[in-house]
Structure 1
Amino acid sequence: MLYNAIIFYVVSLVILFLVLFKTKEPLYAVVISTLVYGIFTFLNNIPVLIKYTLDGLFSFSSLRIYLLIFLAFYLANLLRELGVLDALTRGISSISPRLAAILVPSAIGLIPMPGGALVSAITVEKLYFKTLKIKRDYATYLNYWFRHIWVPSWPLSQSIILTAAILGLTIPDVLSTTFIGTVAVLTLIPYIVYRTLPKVELSERDVKSVVEGLWIFILIGLLVIIFRIPLEYVLLASIALVSILYKPSLNIHKSSFKFAAKWNIFVIIAFSLVFKEYILNSGADIQFKEFITVYHISPYIIAFLLPFLLGISASSEYIFVVVPFPILSRFIIVNGVINHLMLLLAYASGWLAILLSPVHLCLILSAEYYKVKIIETYKYLIPSFIYTFILTILIGYVVFNII
């Protein structure tokens, strides 16, 4: 059969959707769909199936990804336990409560953690309802949407790390394309701050707390993005530096280790890397390129639809990268050259689609905490999605055509 690998890919995709809708659990969806694809594709050659499975699980690049995710979560919990975010929140709120309504959730978004929007929801609750007196559905939207604005531009973002691993790129290479998504969403801030939020009188500005809360994030960004130092070295150095300066207790280190060693996250990542190995070694990416060429289907349509459909049906940002990107890799990387617009389109559609997902853990937790029906937030989420996506692609089209 000419396109057997594509057929098996579609079957595994259908199974992934079914499991997601049934269980709302990305772990089961990724594991089952990966195993189905691998068994269907390599059933006649079990030793090869075992080899590719082990390669996906234990190759040097896979072990590096596990280390990066572990260190990112370790540092995240360390900063949270030490109150670094609390200092940042105090400082931003003292400078501008209106800006703080957006910047506090976005600052907390710099720390990768499942359901992190609940942390920011608790942090800004008094600011939203006592200081600014905004409606609960709007507060839910602000906290949830702006909690995720750094996903395309922050080196600790899990989806950025996985995108780099799947496409065989460095993290700065990926960020040099996807950061445009953050630029687009940042243009919403002046309108929201000055047109939708009330002005509040200030008593005293606490710039020192802002510096105390931001320095580590600025350092990480500079070292990874500007100086292009490998992320694992930057994270190790950051953990060591924070430990020297703040002297966290042994209990805080134990808590950070426990937080970073959550097995379910590593199982998802491990099987995502196995899935990539199956796709690339089965020739599905090559067959897919031949298929859409023969039938004159625009790869840009597929690059939008696959991540979008997976993102809007998932509860985690892993899904929109790990399933479509291996099969899109032949269009994103052509003769060793990055098709920046294709990468931006695929990443932006998945990132923004997952913010529309009704099963996104951050949306569920934010809405529950603020006692709001999820459906009430969509009058803000949908226009934000449309605006941000269109502006992202327009900026990308202009920038990458000039370059």
Structure 2
Amino acid sequence: MLGIVAALIAINILSYYGRKLYLSVLAGIILVALFNRFPLDEVFFLFYRSVSSSTSVNLALIIIGLTAFGELFKETGNLRIMVDKLAIVLSDRRHQVVVLPALVGLMAFPGGAVFSAPLVEEAGTGLELDGVKLTVANIMFRHMFYLIFPFYSGLIILSGLSNTNVMFFVRINVLTLIPFFILIYFYTFRNVKHNGKIKADFSQVPSLLLSMSPLLIILVLALGFNIYFPLAILAGIVLAMFNYLPKQSKLSETLKTRVVQLMHGINWSMALSVIFILVLKDFMERSGAIDIIIEFMVKNGVPLIILAIILPFLTGLITGSQTAALGMSAPVFLAGITDPILQRNFLGLVFVTSLAGYMGSPLHLCTVLTAEHFKVSLQQVMRKINLLGLCLAGLGVATFFISIKLF
């Protein structure tokens, strides 16, 4: 048990001081092995088995593909055109404030908050929203739809760890998203005297769909036809490669440039982090310490739901990484709960509470960069985001009890 505690503390400390997540998790793996005195040959065997498992390979391919796709989608102009066309099609500026950061957030490329903040500022023209509200709106509307976006890395990680279809988590998270969306919408626009309507131009819809086509093809193939996810992503990448080809450049030169952009976009660090999280899970399970922790909590009357709220929230808050929060929290419930229905519902709660903590972290760059853009007090913004994050966690708890009955 001391090995797991030491591993979690080490991961939090190393992440807090800016070390790469995969290195922090690797340190945690080493500590679990040392504290439990695993023989060296067993350490290598466990490590190899985890890294080479179909789950690890599949998740790594998905993360590599999605991060490369997000960068290519941005660099080829698809994202900018999609955002511009959407702003023309949507006539209500309130809806623009909601949709624009959400769309940028779904691409999940580094620095996305810097991209969406000026869009929110422009959309908020005429709505009489102050900088704090625009900052909170950019963060909340950018991240809340992660709850139901099946290609979000956090949901993909949970799905892979638990061998559960990602759509299960999407379905239960809808119950959390709807009231949370209403809450944030009311908070943002409750004092708006007019909605800043502009004339909509629906003739731009075909152009909007063209700009979204690489993303749509992934959705259709993966969700509609159940095509192997990495192959669906590959199809989206191919379409993005040939979308909006500049007329003044040779095809070979353009494709060469886009291949470079594609490779540059791969987030190897995230892929390694996901693989090492799977390794950490297997090492924790092998130690048997999680069973001891669960048994101790049961004997002392400590509800598991308390752990499912506090551990993911605090790790997300401290590390500023939902991936880290899930990596440290999910294995506890995977190894400690044998009932598959109860297990996956606990994992759904872990996802929500880790997201709530992550959004309110002082290390969350999206918040820091957005506050800097709007020139508002970071502390004031953090207080509001964390208050709303606690509301999100509370809604997650309510959804947990409902989903056990429904799903």
Q: Same fold (TM over 0.5)?
A: yes
Paired residue for 1:312, among 317, 321, 329?
Answer: 317
Question: TM-score scaled by structure 1?
Answer: 0.88
In 2: Cα distance, 1:397 partner to 1:236 partner:
38
Q: CA RMSD in A?
A: 2.6
Does 2:389 match 1:389?
no
Does 2:285 match 1:280?
yes
Does 2:239 match 1:241?
yes
Tell me by how many angstroms 1:179 deviates.
4.1
Does 2:123 match 1:117?
no
In 1: Cα distance, 2:38 partner to 2:336 partner:
29
1:184–1:388 CA contact under 8 A, matched in 2: no
* Secondary structure at 2:309 match in 1: helix
In 2: Cα distance, 1:186 partner to 1:216 partner:
27
Tell me by how many angstroms 1:55 deviates.
2.2
Structure 2 partner of 1:166: 161
Offset from partner CA, 1:151-175 (integer Å, 9 cap, x none): 2221221111111222222323433
Structure 1 partner of 2:43: 49
Tell me by how many angstroms 1:218 deviates.
4.5
1:55–1:277 CA contact under 8 A, matched in 2: no
Structure 2 partner of 1:372: 376
Tell me by how many angstroms 1:65 deviates.
1.3
2:15–2:21 CA contact under 8 A, matched in 1: yes
Amino acid in structure 2 at the alignment position of 1:121: A
Structure 2 partner of 1:16: 11
Offset from partner CA, 1:289-339 (integer Å, 9 cap, x none): 3232233321111111111111111122211111111121145551x4454
Structure 1 partner of 2:261: 255
> How many residue pairs get matched?
394
Amino acid in structure 2 at the alignment position of 1:74: A
Structure 2 partner of 1:294: 299
Give the direction of change, closer, same or farther, for the CA distance of 1:174–1:281 in structure 2 (3 Å limit). Answer: farther
2:22–2:273 CA contact under 8 A, matched in 1: yes
Tell me by how many angstroms 1:227 deviates.
4.5
Amino acid in structure 2 at the alignment position of 1:286: D
Paired residue for 2:181, among 180, 186, 190?
Answer: 186
Structure 1 partner of 2:94: 98
Tell me by how many angstroms 1:145 deviates.
1.6
2:2–2:35 CA contact under 8 A, matched in 1: no
In 1: Cα distance, 2:32 partner to 2:58 partner:
25
* Secondary structure at 2:107 match in 1: coil
Percent of pairs with identical residues: 20
Alignment of 1:68-79 (within 5 A): 68-79=62-73
In 1: Cα distance, 2:15 partner to 2:76 partner:
36
Paired residue for 1:220, among 218, 221, 224?
Answer: 218
In 2: Cα distance, 1:48 partner to 1:395 partner:
41
Question: TM-score scaled by structure 2?
Answer: 0.87
Structure 2 partner of 1:345: 349
In 1: Cα distance, 2:399 partner to 2:13 partner:
36
Tell me by how many angstroms 1:219 deviates.
4.4
Does 2:151 match 1:156?
yes
Offset from partner CA, 1:28-54 (integer Å, 9 cap, x none): 43232222222222x351100111122
In 1: Cα distance, 2:135 partner to 2:365 partner:
13
Unaligned regions of 5+ residues in structure 2, if any?
246-253
2:309–2:349 CA contact under 8 A, matched in 1: yes
In 2: Cα distance, 1:330 partner to 1:267 partner:
22
